[in-house]
Structure 1
């Protein structure tokens, strides 16, 4: 709730509201101007390109590099559920989780490695945990049988901590870590803090590596708001993790 209020577009609306309420004062007019500028910047695709440089997602991992990586398991992080899926009984894996799962299955088939899925969100208690649903999809829809399941974690930090014992029990110390490209820098640090060597296996990029802003990218678009929100979420999350857990040992 607090994050939704402070991050775009909620935070922008709060600044605009404060500006309107304090309009008769210089501070109010300043807040209104800042809110309008922030609202514009948080709604244009060009901002996603700028933020992409700050997030610095890892480069794509091809099959040859995955095979030569020395990894001993593929780890796929959950990305959420969709609670508006009556065709699946009400709740199913959302688009982000499915994309991660698809790429994880692709790597598992190419390398022959086992897969660990991790995530414990249950959509307000209406469904099985993410990890359980992910394992079911891997087995029934992607044909991957060697699957480990961690189904209690609620955060990226817990994904790493709760997965560690399962991986160590299989003698795993080096992993292919699958998640959204912007999420992987933070996720990689979380697993490194647990003592794992991590090979980033990103999917769902927001921009192409050779992205350059065009005039149309300065026109507000609905999808840009989510991209800006996601980038800020990851940048702030990385700072919080480092302040709480310290830097990762090199």
Structure 2
């Protein structure tokens, strides 16, 4: 609820609506709110903002499975990104596109390294089965031919991914891990796993920007895909701030 009101499109719409509501009594404040809402909505939907937000997140560099397999890690941990419900072709609930992208890279990484896999994600749609972790294990086994060693299906957020994975792996003497998630999610996830006691080697996948550093007219034009990317990047930036405030870091 909090991020829905703060992040676009909710945040810009809320500012604009407040401006319209008070325009009769506070015209100057109303103009400021409406202008800020429109500007926020515009900036949240252009590619130039994506580049700025990614710099603020300090994303880890992308590396190949061959490069990561020599890291000395003892296991691979893959973080869930959500579920999709009522998918008839898959018999009901299955993983969403975010999770699938992470699993695809994790499968390649497992084949290159031979390391055991832990899948982490306890969300269940309306508390019904399967959990994210169970759906992830099914996808890895049936679609990629990769078996999962451990299922962590109690967590509900990134902090929980870290603490619940620690309950499973640290007693087994597994401390150094390859942590697989989207590049934009890994700075926050890595910090959470380090606080939980792990030695983390980031294994990022699916960075959003091309990183060529060249600007053209299209970078200033709003588009729907960029709005989705910027929402995700803003969500991660807000998550980093909240985690630092909560943990006193």
TM (norm. structure 2) is: 0.95
Range that drifts further, 122-131 or 184-193: 122-131
State the partner residue of 2:174: 172
Aligned length: 247
- Superposition pairs of residues 53-72 of structure 1, within 5 angstroms: 53-72=55-74
Cα deviation, 1:57-107, whole Å, max 9, x if unaligned, reads 100122332122000101000000012412112311001101101111110
RMSD: 1.3
Mark the runs of 5 or more structure 2 residues left unpaired by the alignment: none
CA-CA distance at 1:146 after TM superposition: 4.5
CA-CA distance at 1:227 after TM superposition: 1.5
State the partner residue of 1:14: 14
Range that drifts further, 74-83 or 224-233: 224-233
Distance 2:162 2:242 in 1: 16
Mark the runs of 5 or more structure 1 residues left unpaired by the alignment: none
Cα deviation, 1:178-225, whole Å, max 9, x if unaligned, reads 001100000000000011110101112110232333211111101122
Distance change (3 Å), C-alpha of 1:211 and 1:81: farther
Distance 1:183 1:230 in 2: 9
Instruction: Please point out which of 14, 31, 35 is paired with 1:33.
Output: 35
State the partner residue of 1:234: 236
Distance 2:185 2:103 in 1: 15
CA-CA distance at 1:246 after TM superposition: 3.0
User: Matched residue of 2:63: which SS?
Assistant: coil
Cα deviation, 1:144-181, whole Å, max 9, x if unaligned, reads 22421000100100000000121123321100000011
- Superposition pairs of residues 1-250 of structure 1, within 5 angstroms: 1-24=1-24, 25-247=27-249
Distance 2:106 2:2 in 1: 32
**Contact 1:117/1:135 (<8 A) preserved:** yes
User: Matched residue of 1:211: which SS?
Assistant: coil
Distance 2:108 2:186 in 1: 18
User: Matched residue of 1:51: which SS?
Assistant: helix
User: Matched residue of 1:116: which SS?
Assistant: strand
TM (norm. structure 1) is: 0.94
**Contact 1:49/1:212 (<8 A) preserved:** no
Which stretches of structure 1, 4 residues or longer, exceed 6 Å deviation after superposition? none
**Contact 2:163/2:196 (<8 A) preserved:** yes
Distance 2:87 2:58 in 1: 34
User: Matched residue of 2:125: which SS?
Assistant: coil
